[in-house]
Structures are given as structure tokens and as C-alpha cells.
Structure 1
């Protein structure tokens, strides 16, 4: 894709802009795993910039909608491009605060890049600002904070519609919550109101952050919160309460993924989202006799119910689920290092009742450890079973997609 042929260019000139955007969106969706596809996706889109003006105008917004997603360690060049979007008043405000901005270094941009942001990977954004400040030898001790706030104001004044916010990186184990409090400052509340997907992870105290997100982020479709339940986390109980309030504040939450939470405390909040929830994913949770499974049973529109690395799988859970009816259920998965009440790994043999119930719901069923799983799907009166292996399941994020591909292949063979 580094070279574009003349025939491609002539064909491209005949394609309407909306068709081009469909093509680019297809390429973008093929690159959801940054470790595998990000370089190829970015290279293809960069090549599209060279075709003609229409291709360029369609590709640029896609390249800049999640600009920080592809730079885990930060990228000062991104900050330079955003600085070029500042007007004279915004530049003057930074200069007055002591931040150096040589005008010759930041020419006027060819596109309104700042207005194109849709996804903000906050930690990678912070890393990029920090690298830029280091490379430009900024003098104020708080130059990083000044620049971050200036960029947030830039996004606000350029009417950014932020759809996806990611707070916390798995690789960062030394952060404090002060790093994340800047995004929840009252001045930037309007920037968060459009967020549809929110992910809060990493090893930092999340109580204040979850409280700060509750008021601006009330229209989430997807919520993923991973609580670090360690002896050092003295605020774990406060985090649970804040998470409860965040879930309750939602108007139509569709997908909920919770890691290291106490089910007995969080499950009652599911009642507030019982009609809208279509996906529940529990990760690293411990179940006991106090868990109110009736709250999950109330979510009658569930399409996906997933358990990963959970312990305490017991008869109470099995009985509660197998007496429920989920007419829209498509996937029931219990994978990873799931264990029963006796500390034994959950296998297909000890879950026959649950498996049969899942199949009766018309769902795809996966039970097993990471490198092995059985799956069933019902087509009319016949039920096909098969086995396959995969390398650690891409941290479980692509299990549904991989099962469906394997199922399609199996059906074609029959």
C-alpha cells in the first residue's frame, strides 16, 4: 500500500465520498488490536492520503479520531500538531503562563485536527505531553499541567464529540489519582458528556475519579471498571460505593464489564439497568452464598454473559441461572482460571446442567481453561459440537469473534 497505481487513482476518482468512508471504516475496524494491526492500518490510511483530495479528506478524520491510541509510550509530534491548532489568544495565554511556543515551529494546520478526536487514551495523552515538555525544555514546573489544560480547552472550543475515554494503563503501576483528576475538573465537564464508552483500569485509587465521572458521564453504552483489590488499596470499599453510584446514574447502559469487584455489593445495582443491559462480563470475581443472582436474572435482554478467572462457582449460581430465561442470549462463557467452591478448575464435565441450559437458550457455550474450550450451537433440531485451541484468546477480547468464525467453518463442513 505504500505505492498507489494509476489505475487505482482513476477508479478512486469515480467513487463517491461516502463509499470511501465505508472502505476506511472497514480498514479501521480490522485494526482493533493495536499489538497486531495498528501499523498496517495506519500505513494503509497514510497511503490513501496520496490518492487524491477526496481520499485525503476521508482518511484524515479516521487517522485523527483516536490519535493517541497508537502511541503507548507517547508522541511529542502529536502535541505539536495540536499546538498548531491554537489561535492567537490561546497561544498568548500559554506564553503568559511561561510556556514557550516558537511561532515558526507551529505553522497553521491543513486540517482542523483538534475537532476530529473521538477517543482519548488518557495515559498516552499524558505521556505525549510530558515528552513534548521535556524535548522543548519548558521552564515552568507545572508546564505539563498547563499544556494539558490548554489542550482540553482546545478540544472543548473545537466542539469535540468525545465518544471513548480510557483511563489507566495495565503497564503503569505507579500512577496516583492526581494524574486523572485533571480530566474531571469542573471546567471540562462538558467534554465528557458525549462519552459512550468508558474504561477505568490500572493500579491507582479510583474513588475520586469514579465520583467525578458520575455527573458528566450519564449516557454510557459501555462501562469497564477494574478495581485493584489489593492490601494496599485502602479505598476499595469507597471505590465500590462510587462504582455503584456510577452504574445507577446511567440511563441506558448496554455493556458492563467489571473486574475484581465484590458481587454481593454490585449486583443490586444491576436492577437499575435491567432492561437495557445486553452484555455482562465478570472478571476475577469471587462468589459466595450472599451473592444475589436474582439481579442478573432480571436482565432479560442479555445477549452475552461471560465469566473470566472467577472463583466460587457454586450450585446456587447454577440453580439461579438455569431457572432463568434469556430469550436473546447468544454467548455463555466461563473461561480462564474459573474455580468452584472447592478451589478446583471448572470443566465441561462439572457444568453439564449449565451447558445444557445455555444450549436451550440458543446460545454459544464455552467452558474451559485458556488453551482449550468446547463450543455448542443449536441449528434447528441439531446440535454441533467441536473443539479448538487458540493462543491465550487475545486476553479474551476476541473470543466471541473467534468462536463465530469457527462455527461458520464447522457449518460449512457439515
Structure 2
């Protein structure tokens, strides 16, 4: 049967359903002939940045998109002393296929590193440390601006969009650009607004209002809305624009407000207006926006399944009583960095425990573990900040054993470096139901911070203590930090001995920026023992059953 016997639409549907993690298969298919190449390229370039894992791949992606610039955009780069290679005309208009506009900070850093660096024939970066401080932050911002303009101009079916006020440049961003491409945002489902007052002069502020207005008039199915304010901006125009944007969304499911105090943002009004559709509320960095009325409107969200407070004030036992009297049946509760919250978390866990599937808290203690073990009978995922403080004596760990959790995440802090005994005690008390264990960083750090840090979050002795004493047969082991080879050695010994591990999630290894034959050898041996290596990105840990 000829390869073109099937209609083109059928081939497209087949390739569209290939896993987004299996880009290698798609890439191999596009090399078969021009017909398949033309079908697969739009699929590969819907969300290409989520599929890349290293410096070289990020560099190549940015290079591809820079080849798609028009003459105005190229002139702008030249005016700002940024030279790009005069590659041949690209085979495809890659930018128009993009559906998810993501944060380009890391990819652009990779491109700049390669522009500065000493590269071998395989484009592997060599003397990395010599070039860290040479990166030009002004050029970095210019590249972000120009790619922002390129994607706004070219994207035909935008589903996820980040609008950052620092990326507006009056020399090529204008109302005509937004209006001309307004139909490109009809299918927008995720919008992230990042607004900083210092980035906004009068004209840029007008551009911000224009694009919010255009999205408001053309997009009615935004499901996820994230708004971040980095400085106080007392603007009734902006406040009304955002309120109108929210009101126009028919099925707003998730809302995430960061620094709402800077905006004098009426959190209560926003939540109340969408009480019938919201199933997730996340409030971060709120000093005085959380009050009695806030909990009243939250308690009226009948479809609410997920509630998160991070670095907020006002989470008191008195306010928690409002939620305790409600009919809420939360499945996820996340409470972090909220200071001493006066039994707010414990009372909620008691009241909501039987419905909770996912619980993440940092106020962990002997009492909280006991309450979780006695009230959270359906809990599958538990994420905690492991600590050596006096509220967590070693006999507290016995409560893990009687839980029925399947996934346990430990957010690491420096204390895991100071006491190798913690992970040993934990390993001895893991529940029989557990199949996935994760050590994840508590706070996000830049790529440069990690790669210049000589320490991992745990010592080789600490990891060895955990692996040797682990009483369950783990299927998933996720280590969300940059591994040194000495830690890979411990993992390889565990894999050969236990023979249960199927997936190893790692952020990267010591050879990430160069050629490390021993590191590659260790990884290959782990793979030869039936373990799939998963690269963790942006703390999106991949869990497999």
C-alpha cells in the first residue's frame, strides 16, 4: 500500500497522538519523505521547548527562531550589537506553529553561552566557568523582546501565552500588531500576566491595556489565569481591565494571584465572581489580602478541589472555622511559607482529611503526622519539608508506616546535608503502598546557581543510608537536583540489588555541560538494568505507574 493511500488528515491524527515525550520517533518519521516531514514539523514545533534537555538543544531552537525574523527585527538586533548567523532561508515558518509561549530565559542564556564560548566540533560547551560573568543581561532582554514580537506576529493558534510588561518595546510593538493578530488568541486557555511598574512608561502602559483589551474581546475560554505584580501599581484602568477580562471568561477553572497587595487587587471580588467555575485557587505573597471575607467567598466555591496559600498572612485558626463549616470537599491542599499559622493547617486536615488526595505542607511535626495518619485515609500524594527541628523527634517517622500514600516528596533544605541519619530513619518507616519517592528543591534557583554549587542537597552517605534501608520496592525515584557521579554510583548499586526501579528522574548530571565519560558510563549501566532515565524540568516530576 502506498504511503499516501490514507488521507492526509488520517496521518496527521496518527502522529498527533504520538506521546509528546517521544519526539525521537516523530523526528525519525519526518526523515522518511517530504510528505511526512510536512505533516510532522507543525506537531514538533507546537511546544518545542518542553522537549529539549540540554544547552545544545536550547541553543539550536533559539537559532532556528532567529532565522525566522523579518528585516525589521534583524535591524533591531543589529542596532543593539547582536550578531546572528546569516543562515539559509528556513525550510518552514517554524514560529507560526508555536502554541505555547513559555519563559525563554534559559534557552536564550544557552544561545548567549554558545555565542561566547569555546566550542568543540560537537558543539559541547567547554570552559563554562570562564564565561558565566560575561553574559550580557541587556542583550538577553533584547533577545526576549524580539522573540516575543516574532511569536506575537506569527503564532496562528496560541493556547498558552505569557505577557511580560518588560518585553514591550514601542519601536516595534503597537496596537496594529495586536489587532491584526487578534484571531490568533481565540483558543487561548492559559494566560500569565507579569506586570512590573518600573517597566511601564506611559506608552508601554497603554500597550499593556491594549493587549489585555484585545484578549478580553476575543478570548472567552481561558481556564488558567496567573497574574503577577512586582511593584505597586495603583491604576483604576488596569484594575478594571483585569476585572473585565476575568468576567468575560466562561469557564475559568484555575486562578493564581502573586503579590496581589501591589495591585490593591480585590481578591475577594475576583473569587466571588467565579465561584461557580473555580476548582483551583492559589494565592502567593499576600500580606493583608487574606481576611475573614476571603474565606467566606472561598467557602462558597462549590466546585473547589484545590486550595493553595504560599507566603500569606491571615491564616489563623479563627479564619479556618469558616472553611470548616463549609461544604468544601478539597482534593488538594498546599500550605507553604505562611509562618506560624496557629493550627490553621491542623484543623483543615482534620476536617478535610477524608477527601484529600494530595497534601503538601511545611509545618510538619509529630502532631501533624499523627493527624495525617489518622484522618487522611484516601491520601495518595504527600509532600513535606523534612526537618531536624525539635518538633520532629525520630519516633515521629513511625506514622509514615501506617499511611497509605503512594507518592512521597521531600522538599530538601540545608538540614539534609547536616544529618545523614534522617533519610535512614525515613527509609525504615516507608509505607508498603509507596511506589514513588522524590527529593525536590524547596526554592527554585537559576541554572548558574546550581552548576556553580559544589554541594548536592544530600551527601553520598545520606543517599546511601536511604537506599540501603529502603523497606519498599520503589518503582520511581526522582532526585530533583544536579547529580554528581558519586551519587550515581550509589543509585547503580541500588538498582542492581533491588531490581524494582523502573524510572529514575534526575535534573541532570555533572557532565551536562561537557563530556564526562564516567558519568555516561554510569547512566548507561543504569539503563542496561531496565531503568528509564527521565529528565526533570521545572519541577514537573514524571510519575509512572
TM-score by structure 2 length?
0.48
Deviation at 1:257, TM superposition (A): 1.0
CA distance in 1: counterparts of 2:269 and 2:353, whole angstroms: 27
Cα contact 1:267–1:295 (8 A) shared by 2: yes
Distance in structure 2 (CA, Å) of the matches to 1:105 and 1:319: 65
Distance 2:299 2:46 in 1: 38
For residues 357 and 401 of structure 1, what CA distance do their matches in structure 2 show?
A: 30
Name the structure 2 match of 1:390: 409
Contact 1:283 1:310 in 2 (8 A): yes
- Partner residue in 2 for 1:364: 357
The answer to whether the aligner puts 1:22 opposite 2:17 as a matched pair is yes
Aligned twin of 2:223: 221
Give the unaligned 5+ runs of structure 2.
Answer: 1-9, 117-138, 380-401, 412-439, 444-537
Distance between the aligned counterparts of 1:167 and 1:293, measured in 2? Answer: 30
More deviation in 192-201 or 203-212? 203-212
Number of positions where the alignment pairs a residue of Structure 1 with one of Structure 2: 339
Matched, 1:61 2:42: yes
The Cα of 1:301 is off from its aligned counterpart by: 2.0
Q: 1:293 aligns with which of 290, 295, 298?
A: 295
> What is the DSSP-based 3-state SS (H/G/I as helix, E as strand, rest coil) of the residue aligned with 2:178?
helix
1:160 equivalent to 2:156? Answer: yes
> What CA distance in whole angstroms lies between the structure 1 residues aligned with 2:144 and 2:228?
29
Note the C-alpha offset of 1:21: 2.3
Please give the secondary structure, in 2, of the residue aligned with 1:107: coil
Residue 180 (str. 1) matches residue 168 (str. 2): yes
2:455 is aligned to: none
- CA shift in 2, pair 1:52/1:385, >3 Å: farther
Residues 308 and 148 of structure 1: is their aligned pair in 2 closer, same or farther, counting only changes over 3 Å?
Answer: closer
**Distance of 1:83 and 1:355 partners within structure 2:** 51
Aligned partners of 1:118 and 1:261: how far apart in 2? 28
Residue 60 of structure 1 aligns to a residue whose secondary structure is: helix
- Aligned position for 1:114: 95
Deviation (angstroms), 1:106: 4.0
Deviations 1:361-405 (A, max 9, x none): x342526318887482549xxxx9446742425669879987xx8
Aligned to 1:307: 309
Distance 1:196 1:106, change over 3 A: same
Assess, with a 3 A threshold, how the Cα gap between structure 1 residues 401 and 366 changes in structure 2: closer, same or farther. farther
Cα shift at 1:254? 1.6
**Hey, what's the Cα distance between the residues in 2 that align with 1:223 and 1:309?**
19
RMSD between aligned residues: 5.1
Per the TM alignment, residue 179 of structure 1 is displaced from its structure 2 partner at its CA by 2.8
Contact 1:347 1:367 in 2 (8 A): no
What's the CA shift string for 1:3-26, capped at 9, x where partnerless? Answer: xxxxxxxxxxxx95533321233x
CA distance in 1, matches of 2:190, 2:44: 19
Give 1:332's aligned residue: 332
Q: In the aligned structure 2, how far is the partner of 1:202 from the partner of 1:47?
A: 42
Q: 1:250 and 1:72 mapped to 2: Cα distance?
A: 37
1:116 Cα deviation from its structure 2 partner? 0.6
- The aligned residue for residue 254 of structure 1 is 253
In 2, the alpha carbon distance for the partners of 1:131 and 1:19 equals: 37
Change (3 A) 1:75 1:84: same
Closer, same or farther in 2 for the Cα pair 1:371/1:226, shift >3 Å?
A: farther
Alpha-carbon distance in structure 1 between the residues aligned to 2:32 and 2:343: 54
Which stretch of structure 1 is more off in the superposition, 236-245 or 287-296? 236-245
Q: Deviations over 1:131-177 (max 9, x none)?
A: 69x99xxxxxx9x9799679847864x56111111245xxxxxxxx4
**Please, what TM-score do these two structures have when normalized by structure 1?**
0.61
Q: Per the alignment, do residues 281 and 155 of structure 1 end up closer, same or farther by CA in structure 2, a change over 3 Å counting?
A: closer
1:198 aligns with 191
> 1:278 maps to which residue?
279
Quick one: structure 1 residues 318 and 95, their matched pair in 2 at CA, closer, same or farther if it must change by over 3 Å?
A: closer
> Structure 1 309/150 Cα, relative in aligned 2: closer, same or farther at 3 Å?
closer
Shift, 1:338, TM fit: 2.6
User: 2:320 — aligned with what?
Assistant: 318
| Structure whose alpha-carbon radius of gyration is higher | 2
In 2, the alpha carbon distance for the partners of 1:206 and 1:240 equals 17
Question: 5+ residue gaps in structure 1?
Answer: 1-14, 28-40, 136-141, 169-176, 410-414
